[in-house]
Structure 1
Amino acid sequence: MGKNLGKLFTLLLFIPIFLGIFGGCDKTPPKTGTLMDFVPQNATVVFKISNFEDLQADIEASSLLSKFGKTLPYSFFTEKKALLKNLHPSSQSLFCINKVNDSLSAYTFISRQTKNLFKPDSLKNRTIETLTLDGQSFQRITLDKEIAYSAIIDSVFVVSSSQQLLQDILKRKTERDETFKKVFNLPSSNGFTALVRGNKVALNDSTKIAFTSWSALDVTIAPESFKATGITLATDSIPQLLNVFKGQVPQQNEVSALVPTDALGVISFTFNDAENFQKNLRNFRGEKNTAQTTGIFGSVSEAGSIQFKTESAVFIKSIDASLTNDALARYVSEKSEFREIKISSFSEPQLFRKTFSPFIDSENANYVFQLDNFFVFTESEITAQQIISDFQINNTLKNTSYFENTATDLSTASSLLIFKMKGEFSEAISGFFNSKSKKEIKNISFEEFPLAALQFSYDRNFAHLTLSCKEAGAAVKSILGMVTEKFSLKLESAVLGDPQLIEGQNGNGNIVVQDMNNKLYFISESGKILWTKNLGSSILGKIEEVEILGSKHIAFATKDAFNILDRNGKDAKGFPIKFKDNVTQPLSVFDYDNNRNYRFVIVQGKEMLLYDKNGKIVKGFNFNKAKSNIAQSPVHIRMGNKDYIVVAEESGKLNILSRVGKSRVSVSKNFNFSEIPIAEEDNTFVVITKENTKERISQDGKISSQKLDVGSNYWFTILGNTKVTLDDNKLRINGKLAELPLGLYTKPQLFNINRNSYTTITETQEKKVYVFDKDGSLLNGFPVYGASAATIGEGNGKNVKTIVVKGDADAIILYSSN
């Protein structure tokens, strides 16, 4: 689609740039009628201008138009603008551009003759000569080496850079096209209107197509944007592409929800009668055979293509996905699956070119997959996977602030919609210039203009047209808040447990994850596997981060060992510690005074063993054995200046101990402990029982009970000043409700990053990962794709966060969010 409608888009896009040197704008309705009679034949663009000076100020303030001062044909005027600069019309004027040849354009200025319009006597370095040719008298004006030709005809002042054009006007060889007269006389409340001849436009690399006859556009120029709105007319006398939309009602354009943000361009066209639309296209192409229309498009309302750097993708949007699937069934065969999306081979790769040419010229639609109501056809599986990834993490055009900004100018439904992204309209623009200017255009950066949109909405025998291009300023970019996928990495076998982010030795993040073969992977933030280690059994619970002798280490327990590894995967001195009896709870790590004098807690049934960082049993700890099996990993809680070690037993007994293992708080009641860890809230110990009763135990052993009106999957967690609960799909963060879609969710997890707290939770059926801030607001760009609980950590750069999650069964994904 790279060249689709490129030249039409170029021409319209550059309406304001043509004016960059010449125009004006005020609120006065223009007088029309007589000036039109002097427009030269075959003018490419005719500008109706109410006020020169206002428009010149707008042009000078425009960040886009200022880029073109030294490119053709604009340099022709900027470098020789002395004459035009000294024109002072007091009423409406016309400015016309004619293309003389491939490398030269000529202008013609037309306005009513007034006293102050042009005062040559006040100018220096000027020469005025009267010439007579073929019985016609006119003046040749030389001003600062600039040459122009002028005449006053019936009280109308005409000046042109081309002697031939002026002589033709004197001979009344002027624009007589009836469609031009119609658009010229259309009412306008704008002080600046562009009348654009709809010449043939390039739809692909080798073909030029007639699209419309004339367009009348009211142009608005602002410092950071420009907008053009109006109508465009097609005639029946010659085939023009706009007419293929006859009888079609414009449908809603939804492609922005599909287009990845790194795409370069999009074309989307809509129809409500697929058979008639295909018939119109065949007639336009001059095909005499009455080919059968394919049933694939009977349930489709929108189609088009997406351009990337190396290839393009075709899409169709269905109003009934099941019907479209049935129609496609005979053309597809399942090939692979990516993140639970089936990617199939497509046996008719030339179908779209045959059906929708010249809108679509792709002949390589080799693969197909479905995303919601979109069916997407790509040349390669890699592109298919990238589109799926971006769609699942909402990294699409619709979710950008610059699209939201541009969408305010557009209708939600149209016949034809074209997007040019990442400033890629520079390539389309170059088609208007000669080869030298193409090179100049390529050297101009348009990165601050991430999106330009051109929209046509067919209405009887004409179409409404809107063109919008806006600069994405620093403020707009800063609120974008997009999530990007840094990498997706496949392991040797399926992922076991949840991948974790841990802090690296130099502040860089690392990922640790285990696979079903019990191999432990240590992965860099760039997706490189730094080392692996075969453990022999699975890790219980989470991996803990510790610092020993100034170096970062990881600590964890398996059913038969306690391990501490350095960041190179080497065992710390004294480790691993092997056990004959099974370890029955995940490792707990206590750091009483935050001085890295760790106590590592291993639970084996009823036994509780404390080790120091050298792998030695801690002496003097008196609670070695409970009366029944320990139900949870013991926790350390600090209240005021007191430390408590809390140990829950399967019998229901709650032990609240001192550092040395002596009973510190006597608890008279037994509890039916759930999986929710015992926590501290408002200087009390909180137990959530299997019966969903919230038990509070004070530091002197007093107990208060509260029956919770919650479902069976209730969860409670607290970290610092942030408390999170989950009841079915009702997530509350510090009491603020964030209602989630109905589904099955992982336990919410809390993380502190840069003095801010974040909550992660994953819906496991739809595989969507949500991240909320401490105020209960969903972060921009979420949810994203993920199949496990997600860990969030600090990324490289201010306010940058990284999120790691399981993707496909054997893959992990690392996201970055700002």
Structure 2
Amino acid sequence: MGKINRNLFAVLLFIPILLGVFASCDNSPSKTGTLMDFVPENAAVVFKISNFENLQADIENSALLSKFENTEIYSYFTKKNNIFKNLHPTSQSLLSINKINDSVSAYTFITKHTDKLFQLDSVKNKSVETLTLDKKSFQRVSIDENTAYSTIIDSVLVVSSSQQIIQDILNGKTERDATFKKVFNLPSSNDFTALLRGKKEAINDSIKINFTSWSALDINFSSESFTATGISMATDTIPQLLNIFEGQIPQQNDVALLIPSDAKSALSFTFNDAESIQEKIRHYKGETKPIQTTGIFGSVSEAGIIELKQESAIFIKSIDALLTSDALARFVTSKSSFREVEIKSFSEPKLFAETFSPLINSEKANYVFQLDNFFVFTESEISAQQIISDYQNNNTLQNTSYFENTIVDLSTASSLLVLKLQGDLSESLSLFFENDNTFKKISFEKFPLAAIQFSYDRNFAHVTLSCKEVGGNVKKSSEKVSEKFNVKLENTILNAPKLVKTKNGESKIVVQDITNKLYFISESGKILWSKNLDSAVLGEVEEVSISGNKHIAFTTKSAFYLLDRNGKDSKSFPIKFKDEVTQPLSVFDYDNNGNYRFVVIQDKEVLMYDKNAKLVTGFGFKKAKSSIVQSPIHIRMGSKDYIVIAEENGSLNILSRVGKSRVSVSKKFNFSSIPIAEEDNTFVVITKENTKERITPDGKVSSLKLDVGANYWFTISGNTKATLDDNLLRINGKLAELPLGIYTQPQLYKINRNYYTTITETQEKKVYVFDENGKLQNGFPVYGTSEASLSQGKRTTNLVVKGGADSVIMYSM
């Protein structure tokens, strides 16, 4: 059985909403003269109501409960039922629900009788008649299409939709279960409490779940939420699943760190004594033959199952991953690797069902892999890859706002935790309304998460339930970062992938492998073309638009390439060189009109070409006095253009468009690899000694010694500046302190008039994206192993980064 048993979810989740679920019987007659004495036998759920009219108004204002307005049971709590419309109790009331058969239920309303409780004098379309059976009299009341039976016993009014129930109550056949009396008499200051009987639910042909005897839940709801807290009690006289947690100390539930945000549901249970819980599960199932223990669970504190879109996955959380890994060693064989996570085949796929059924029933634990302290068992490698991707990308339940909104109601530790996601509630709840097609059409899209939690404590369990509507300020998982594709190349990737744009606005990826093959990949992950080059691309490819068509331009050590979107060489390209090209290509477009100038550096030599592959003869700076140490850059200040060229001897040449000296700089600089930039109408040089040198347009130099580390980096674009000093990232002066690690140089990208900074931690393989205010963007960090490139695509903002050694990942924001 590959999926989580749906009936088990129905038993555990939403038991307080309607017709709950659990069974026990004890015949010890008692009469105290309280409302409890008139609860009919075998009630499935009994509601204790302090103020009936206030409750009716609250229910009608609840966004969740109003979805049940076309169901019969909803009418019991509202004025849509003409019988209830005319009930006006002034003290506590009870509403009991009995299931007559699979498709019919009956209600019984119990409250102290008063003169104005049930007045029908002014009611139209009514009939009232007195019936007498076995010398017991009661009334049949009909108002329009609603019919009920009523009687008054010891100043208590009892109204029921079932004549048989009224007769049974008159004959003393009432609920006498001892556990029911205990939960009924529990102190509560809440206005609305549900008492729920346990019942057996079939897991399969041979196993039925008998979870508990009775539960008492104080229910609270607003227009946006439904929560409940209380206790659940099992009995020792018959096997009940809740008792498997006896003697176990509830442990911390961490499964939300693992659950993909698009999963359908999950079940987690915890224990501190693996042998004890396994023994109690065997006792619950009536098994006498001891199971062969593997030792795998001795270092485990949490286990459970996650239902994905198509398959299910089993997980265990270890308190000592090395011990668990050693215990698993004889059952696993290395199969494959994904994002540097080893996926292994598992030789005991039925182990979990044999050990933990009915909590886990899957017999398809075919593969296993480790994520920190989690060991995850999946049916297929595809499911394994999905979970690994979502975990590394932080695309898990833990990182959603609706989980943050729900977790405040829950304890950090519990014995049993059940989660339903994606508003996938109808199938569980419809078990209570098997013939109600209207109910099955209810949409719970605005309730993306419901959680119920049991924490065992002596001979009972604390119960907490939470279900909340997504408000306007709550992020859905679809609004976060999602992985569009992960494409694998033929060989190891040589450089970080780069995003470029095509004429129609789509993002394309340019990347090169170690055989020097250049790939052009679409926004959907399709390799459009590849091209064998003579050597590695120097620096990054540059985007240019020639005759209205997008091209990419770059240099290798021996050639200058200009390729169209189909990978074809432009006319007269490539330009081949005898002498080695020593710097990445520089591209200047002085007036933003497509009249490009391409600058190729060969040690000291400066070659400037136009888009037709012709040398620009009017550029006068042909050769430097020493080796050029950076690609020349173009800076515009006011109405003037400046071309800046740095030499190994420390000279800084600041030239005009035609290559003549425009600013005379007498000072020599020990240039670092940080490109020269423009800031506040000055030229900025960051030296190897981490001195910030400012040069004004008239050649004046001022120096500032920076109090920074050896790995300092500086970049600026427009009015946005980003600096990195070890793990201290500052964007426009605002500090974003990163975890300690080894980081790539921060990169600035302009998207829709806003600037974003990308940076990657290469040890933990995490990619971060910050806005210009230093705020980390929703959904980050994600998995990646190189510098990340950002671009506005046709419909979404896209980010591309190297994944594994030979794979490229694209994310959409």
Deviations for 1:321-355, whole angstroms, at most 9, x for unmatched residues? 11111111111121111101111111111111111
Q: Deviations over 1:470-500 (max 9, x none)?
A: 1112331379852111111111222121111
Deviation at 1:33, TM superposition (A): 5.8
Residue equivalent to 1:28: none
Q: Name the % identity.
A: 70
Choose which of 561, 564, 568 in structure 2 pairs with 1:563. 561
Aligned residue in 1 for 2:28: none
- Specify whether residues 196 and 694 from structure 1 end up closer, same or farther in structure 2 by C-alpha distance, changes over 3 A only: same
Contact 1:6 1:201 in 2 (8 A): no
CA distance in 1, matches of 2:774, 2:260: 28
1:474 and 2:472 equivalent? yes
1:180-199 superposed Cα distances (whole Å, 9 cap, x missing partner): 11111111111111111011
Q: What is the CA–CA distance in structure 1 between the aligned matches of 2:605 and 2:59, rounded to whole Å?
A: 81
Task: Give the aligned partner of residue 23 of structure 1.
Answer: none
Taking the TM superposition and a 5 Å limit, the aligned residue runs for 1:290-309 are 290-309=290-309
Q: Distance in 2 between matches of 1:314 and 1:778?
A: 32
1:626 & 1:2 partners in 2: Cα distance? 76
1:775 alignment partner in structure 2: 773
Superposed, which structure 2 residues align to 1:250-289 within 5 Å? 250-289=250-289
Q: What corresponds to 1:7 in structure 2?
A: 10
The aligned counterpart of 1:803 is 799
- In the TM superposition, 1:28-39 aligns within 5 A as 34-39=34-39
Question: Does residue 103 of the first structure (1) align with residue 108 of the second (2)?
Answer: no
Q: In 2 relative to 1, CA 78–115 (structure 1 residues): closer, same or farther, beyond 3 Å?
A: closer
User: Is the aligned partner of 1:702 residue 2:700?
Assistant: yes
Tell me, yes or no, if structure 1 residue 112 matches structure 2 residue 112: yes
- Between the aligned partners of 1:286 and 1:185, the Cα distance in structure 2 is 33
Alpha-carbon shift at residue 206 of structure 1 (Å): 6.3
Q: Provide the rounded CA distance (Å) in 1 between the counterparts of 2:794 and 2:579.
A: 43
Residue of structure 1 in register with 2:462 after alignment: 464
- Alpha-carbon distance in 2 for matches of 1:80, 1:140: 19
Deviation (angstroms), 1:541: 0.7
User: Aligned equivalents of 1:796 and 1:428: distance in 2?
Assistant: 40
Q: d(CA) in 2 for partners of 1:205 and 1:499?
A: 55
2:530 pairs with 1:532 = yes
Correspondence for 2:600: 602
Q: Give the residue type in structure 2 aligned to 1:83.
A: I
Residue matched to 2:196: 196
Q: Does residue 646 of the first structure (1) align with residue 649 of the second (2)?
A: no
> Mapping of 1:581-660 within 5 angstroms?
581-660=579-658
Instruction: Look up the match of 1:209.
Output: 209
> Is the 2:45–2:97 contact (alpha carbons within 8 Å) kept by the matching residues of 1?
yes
Structure 1 CA distance for aligned equivalents of residues 642 and 330 of structure 2? 68
Q: 1:349–1:615: structure 2 CA closer, same or farther, 3 Å change rule?
A: same
Aligned to 1:685: 683
Q: Distance in 1 between matches of 2:221 and 2:687?
A: 66
SS for the counterpart of 1:419 is: strand
Q: Name the CA shift for 1:76/1:178 in 2 (closer, same or farther; >3 Å).
A: closer
Gap change, CA 1:13 and 1:490, over 3 Å in 2: farther
- Paired residues of 2:76 and 2:84 also in contact (CA < 8 A): no
Does residue 339 of structure 1 match 2:342?
no
Matching residue of 1:433: 433
Cα separation, 1, equivalents of 2:706 and 2:34 = 84
C-alpha distance after superposition, 1:614-648 (max 9, x if no partner) = 22211211111112221111011112222111111
Q: CA 1:789/1:348 → structure 2, altered by over 3 Å: closer, same or farther?
A: same
Contact 2:732 2:772 in 1 (8 A): yes
- The AA in structure 1 aligned to 2:673 is E
State the partner residue of 1:813. Answer: 809
How much has 1:702 moved relative to structure 2? 2.1
How far apart, CA to CA, are the structure 2 residues paired with 1:78 and 1:226?
A: 17
Partner deviation per Cα, 1:745-783 (whole Å, 9 max, x = no partner): 111111111222111111112111111121222222211
| SS in structure 2 of the partner of residue 474 of structure 1 | coil
Distance apart, 1:205 and its partner CA: 8.0
Asked whether the equivalents of residues 16 and 196 of structure 2 are also in contact (C-alpha less than 8 Å), the reply is: no
Contact 1:264 1:424 (C-alpha < 8 Å) held by counterparts:
yes
TM-score, normalised to structure 1, is 0.95
Q: Is 1:789 paired with 2:792?
A: no
Q: How does 1:5-404 map to 2 (within 5 A)?
A: 5-10=8-13, 12-15=15-18, 34-71=34-71, 74=74, 81-203=81-203, 207-404=207-404
Measure the CA separation in 2 of the matches of 1:60 and 1:547: 61
- The runs of 5 or more residues in structure 2 that have no matched partner are 22-31
How far apart, CA to CA, are the structure 1 residues paired with 2:389 and 2:768?
Answer: 16
Aligned 8 A contact 1:203 1:359 in 2: no
- Taking the aligned partners of 1:811 and 1:718, their CA distance within structure 2 comes to 30
CA contact (8 A) 2:400 2:477 kept: no
- Give the whole-Å Cα distance in 2 for the aligned partners of 1:182 and 1:497: 70
Q: CA 1:675/1:204 → structure 2, altered by over 3 Å: closer, same or farther? A: farther
Q: Contact 1:12–1:467 (CA<8 Å) still a contact in 2?
A: no
**Alpha carbons 2:291, 2:355 under 8 Å: kept:** no
Q: Is the 8 A contact 1:392 1:785 kept in 2?
A: yes
Query: Using the alignment, how far apart are the partners of 2:78 and 2:272 within structure 1?
Result: 48
Q: Give the alignment partner of residue 514 of structure 1, picking from 509, 512, 515.
A: 512
SS at match of 1:387: helix
Structure 2 length normalisation: TM-score? Answer: 0.95
Cα distance in 2 between the residues matched to 1:478 and 1:618: 55
Deviation at 1:724?
1.7
Once the 2 structures are TM-superposed, how far is the Cα of residue 204 of structure 1 from its aligned partner?
6.0
Q: Determine the structure 1 residue equivalent to 2:571.
A: 573
Deviations 1:74-126 (A, max 9, x none): 57998981112111111111111100011100111111111111112211111
Distance 1:129 1:47 in 2: 28
Decide whether aligned partners of structure 1 residues 527 and 120 sit closer, same or farther in structure 2, where only a CA change above 3 A counts: same
Does the CA-based 8 Å contact 1:406-1:468 persist in structure 2? yes
Q: How many angstroms does 1:795 deviate by?
A: 3.9
State whether residues 211 and 242 of structure 2, in contact with CA within 8 Å, keep that contact through their aligned partners in structure 1.
Answer: yes
Q: Cα–Cα, structure 1 residues 80 and 632, in superposed 2: closer, same or farther, change >3 Å?
A: closer
- Cα–Cα, structure 1 residues 481 and 79, in superposed 2: closer, same or farther, change >3 Å? closer
Residue identity opposite 2:298 in structure 1? G
- Structure 1 range deviating more: 360-369 or 70-79: 70-79
Q: Is the 8 A contact 1:4 1:267 kept in 2?
A: no
Q: What is the SS of the residue equivalent to 1:595?
A: coil
Note the alpha carbon deviations across 1:524-555, whole angstroms, 9 max, x for none: 21212222222232211111111112222211
Distance 1:625 1:80, change over 3 A: closer
Q: How many residues align?
A: 800
Of 801-810 and 59-68, deviating more is 59-68
Matching residue within 703, 722, 725 for 2:720:
722
Following the alignment from structure 1 to structure 2, what is the Cα–Cα distance between the partners of residues 471 and 737?
A: 35
Q: Deviation per CA, 1:564-623: give whole Å up to 9, x if none.
A: 222222323332222222221111011112222211111112111111122221121111
- For residue 398 of structure 1, report the CA deviation from its aligned partner: 0.5
Does the 8 Å CA contact 1:4/1:204 hold for their aligned counterparts?
no
CA change 1:336–1:39 in 2 (3 A) is same
Mapped contact 2:78–2:84 kept (Cα < 8 A): no
Partner Cα separation in structure 1 for residue 553 and residue 492 of structure 2: 23
Give unmatched runs, 5+ long, in structure 1: 19-31
Letter in structure 1 aligned against 2:352? F
1:613 to 1:557, Cα distance in 2 relative to 1, 3 A: same
CA 1:399–1:599: 2 relative to 1, 3 Å? same
- RMSD value, Cα: 2.0
Q: Distance in 2 between matches of 1:11 and 1:256?
A: 20
Deviations 1:120-167 (A, max 9, x none): 221111111111111111111121132211111111111111111000
Report whether the alignment pairs 1:418 with 2:418: yes
